[in-house]
Structure 1
Amino acid sequence: MVLRYMIYDVFTDTRLAGNPLAVVFGADALSDETMQALAGEMNLSETVFIRTAQNPAHAARLRIFTPARELPFAGHPTVGAAIAISELNHADQHPDFDIVCVLEENVGPVRCAVKLSDTGASFAEFDLPRNPVRTDLNLDRQGLADALGVKLSDLGFENHVPAIWSAGVPFLMLPLHNLAAVEGVEFDVTLWEKAAPLVEGRLASAYVYCRGGVHHAAKFHARMFSPDMGIAEDPATGGAAAALAGAIHQFDALPDGLTPILIEQGVEMGRPSFIHLHIDVKDGAISKARIGGQAVKLASGELHL
């Protein structure tokens, strides 16, 4: 069996920046075990497998795997897959061609809008399949601070406190006092496994963030660590940014209307990424939210299985 694959750098318009993603086409015949093995072979944060949609009106069915396990939903595979599919299917269209499609993920259908470009980096944005919700668990704040290599007094800023949020995949949100504290994080897997809670039967992933950023337009600066997913550190985490929408709405008391937010991640890894988050609030609650970003193709090839 020979399958076509591509590598995209996602949440960036620059090759060798952002979060690399392997996109494997024609994956209907692949077993779960083979897809997991291929994700381990690729050894990227995520590998997405493109399969035939169950609903013929939808563009594709996605299966998303980290090196360690399958995810029901993830942001950078959604953005990257939407762009890869659109660029492949509409290669003859005029540049700046706009497409709306639906991708089937384990979390449910995800509506995407894609803007193709002839500059090498297209843009995609998707509606969150679920609004973020908070799970309240007792947290070992000192243990979490030790696992991050920061002082206990660095945990939290303004109204932001550590909390678990999920928009399909749960993350332990860890606000830190300032940019210097986030940049200075030295994640200790052993201490994290002792201090972090289990969420939905799995060790929580750490999403560390602060207000502001290195880029002048960034509203938040973030890092993500996930031993459970087999990810030492992630250059960009759209699923976590989706969950962060809940924390921002609650702790910042967002007013009704649209709030656009730019999140930077991957700076410490030398792979700067920029995630666009738009939160719509109506009657004091999140009515809808969207995640978007650019992606650029880096490589293509064949898999011989």
Structure 2
Amino acid sequence: MRSRDFKQVDVFTDAPYLGNPLAVVLDGGDLDDEAMQRFARWTNLSETTFLLPPTDPAADYRVRIFTPGGELAFAGHPTLGSCHAWLAAGHTPRQRGEIVQQCQAGLVRIRKIGSPDGGLAFAAPPLRRASPSPTVLAKVAAALQLKSHQILAAQTLDNGTVWLGLLLADADLVLALSPDHRQLREIGLKVGVAGITSAQDTALLIGRSNREARAFTGAASRARAEAQLEVRGFAAPIGVDEDPVTGSLNASLAQWLIADDRLPERYVAAQGQCIGRDGRVHIERDDDGQVWVGGRSVTCIQGSVTL
């Protein structure tokens, strides 16, 4: 064992302790899988990451992502939090204006957004989606105590991590959910649930260009209550009953719901309210069709860890 630089970062927030915490070991060199998994169980956070030298010459760094229950090929808030920690440690990307992260799912592009403290955004990996089986959907609805008519749409979403995505009738229904986590664990699926918060404004935005949407939402984007989507993520199968704020889920929800004209090309999602958090995830699909998922991060703990 030896001392290694360590940070604990709060992601998708500009106020400490209101987002999703991430443990980052900045030097994961010579640690084996068992040591990484053991430390991730000990931190008991939804994810813990280990930064390593890249093996792909196009990448700036490599990251391995662990939950208390296992390793993930990709996850959103660990991507932004790891990049935040890597930059704060004094590293400089090879390419100006863009950082390239290597993970098990491949290369992920990350860019700064807005002003210098405006946060970071990652390019959502390609999405594979399919209709879930009616049997599975019925089991999940029962675990969430939902009636079938309350689910407007459902898709199995896979962008490196798999979620069953549900769109409910409205945001209040999402916030009122009281899931049976034991049943969800037995079903073995991570479930992401979303509801539109402002149907009238959202309807006005759909079909507008990105420039028009930015103008329309410019003032609202600076407010705390401007979110167009309320999201909750239940990940009992990997040891996390409810994730505070989830980048991979919000990425796949955006790719699905924008493509199906249920949401505009630029919006803000809120997540975490039911467990005492207040995360904000900024979504934008650019003119090339790439969805970017962004937010701010703050360092809450920094020092060293013996591993």
- After TM superposition, the score normalised by the length of structure 2 is 0.83
Which residue type is aligned with residue 304 of structure 2?
Answer: E
Instruction: Please show how residues 181-192 of structure 1 align to structure 2 within 5 Å.
Output: 181-192=173-184
Q: 1:11 to 1:107 in 2, by over 3 A?
A: same
Match of 1:226 among 204, 222, 235: 235
* 2: CA distance, partners of 1:42 / 1:23: 10
Q: Is the 8 A contact 1:236 1:266 kept in 2?
A: yes
- Tell me if 1:204 matches 2:205: no
Which residue of the partner structure matches residue 95 of structure 1? none
- Tell me if 1:75 matches 2:73: no
- Tell me if 1:112 matches 2:110: yes
Which residue type is aligned with residue 176 of structure 1?
Answer: L
Q: Tell me the alpha carbon deviations over residues 134-157 of structure 1, each in whole angstroms, 9 at most, x when there is no partner.
A: 12331334422220123333222x
Q: Tell me the alpha carbon deviations over residues 7-41 of structure 1, each in whole angstroms, 9 at most, x when there is no partner.
A: 01000000011000001011011101111111111
Match of 2:164 among 163, 172, 175: 172
Q: Tell me the alpha carbon deviations over residues 235-269 of structure 1, each in whole angstroms, 9 at most, x when there is no partner.
A: 11100111112321343267xxx811211100111
Query: How many angstroms does 1:87 deviate by?
Result: 1.4
Q: 1:122 to 1:304 in 2, by over 3 A?
A: farther
* 2: CA distance, partners of 1:139 / 1:33: 38
Q: Is the 8 A contact 2:258 2:265 kept in 1?
A: no
Match of 1:265 among 271, 277, 284: 271
Q: Tell me the alpha carbon deviations over residues 58-103 of structure 1, each in whole angstroms, 9 at most, x when there is no partner.
A: 3210000111011111110111111111111169xxxxxx842111
SS for the counterpart of 1:252 is coil
SS for the counterpart of 1:53 is coil
Q: Which moved more, 1:178-187 or 1:236-245?
A: 178-187
Q: Tell me the alpha carbon deviations over residues 218-245 of structure 1, each in whole angstroms, 9 at most, x when there is no partner.
A: 1110000112221111111100111112
Which residue of the partner structure matches residue 49 of structure 1? 50
Which residue type is aligned with residue 228 of structure 2?
Answer: K
Corresponding residue pairs, total: 278
Which residue type is aligned with residue 182 of structure 2?
Answer: T
Q: Could you tell me the percent identity over the aligned residues?
A: 31
SS for the counterpart of 2:42 is helix
Q: Is the 8 A contact 1:83 1:122 kept in 2?
A: no
SS for the counterpart of 1:58 is coil
Query: How many angstroms does 1:294 deviate by?
Result: 0.3
Match of 2:101 among 100, 103, 128: 103
- After TM superposition, the score normalised by the length of structure 1 is 0.84
Q: Is the 8 A contact 1:133 1:246 kept in 2?
A: no
* 1: CA distance, partners of 2:184 / 2:147: 15
Which residue type is aligned with residue 303 of structure 2?
Answer: G
* 2: CA distance, partners of 1:253 / 1:186: 25
Which residue of the partner structure matches residue 14 of structure 2? 13
Query: How many angstroms does 1:124 deviate by?
Result: 0.8
Which residue type is aligned with residue 294 of structure 1?
Answer: R
Which residue type is aligned with residue 133 of structure 1?
Answer: R
* 1: CA distance, partners of 2:143 / 2:242: 14
Match of 1:251 among 242, 245, 260: 260
SS for the counterpart of 1:248 is helix
Which residue of the partner structure matches residue 294 of structure 1? 296
* 2: CA distance, partners of 1:116 / 1:64: 27
Which residue type is aligned with residue 209 of structure 1?
Answer: A
* 2: CA distance, partners of 1:246 / 1:116: 22
Q: 1:115 to 1:2 in 2, by over 3 A?
A: farther
Instruction: Please show how residues 55-94 of structure 1 align to structure 2 within 5 Å.
Output: 55-89=56-90
RMSD of Structure 2 on Structure 1 (CA): 2.3
* 2: CA distance, partners of 1:79 / 1:288: 17
Q: 1:178 to 1:137 in 2, by over 3 A?
A: closer
| Structure number having the greater helix percentage | 2
Which residue type is aligned with residue 205 of structure 1?
Answer: K
Q: 1:150 to 1:23 in 2, by over 3 A?
A: same
Q: Which moved more, 1:169-178 or 1:37-46?
A: 169-178
Which residue type is aligned with residue 148 of structure 2?
Answer: L
Instruction: List alignment gaps of at least 5 residues for structure 2.
Output: 199-222
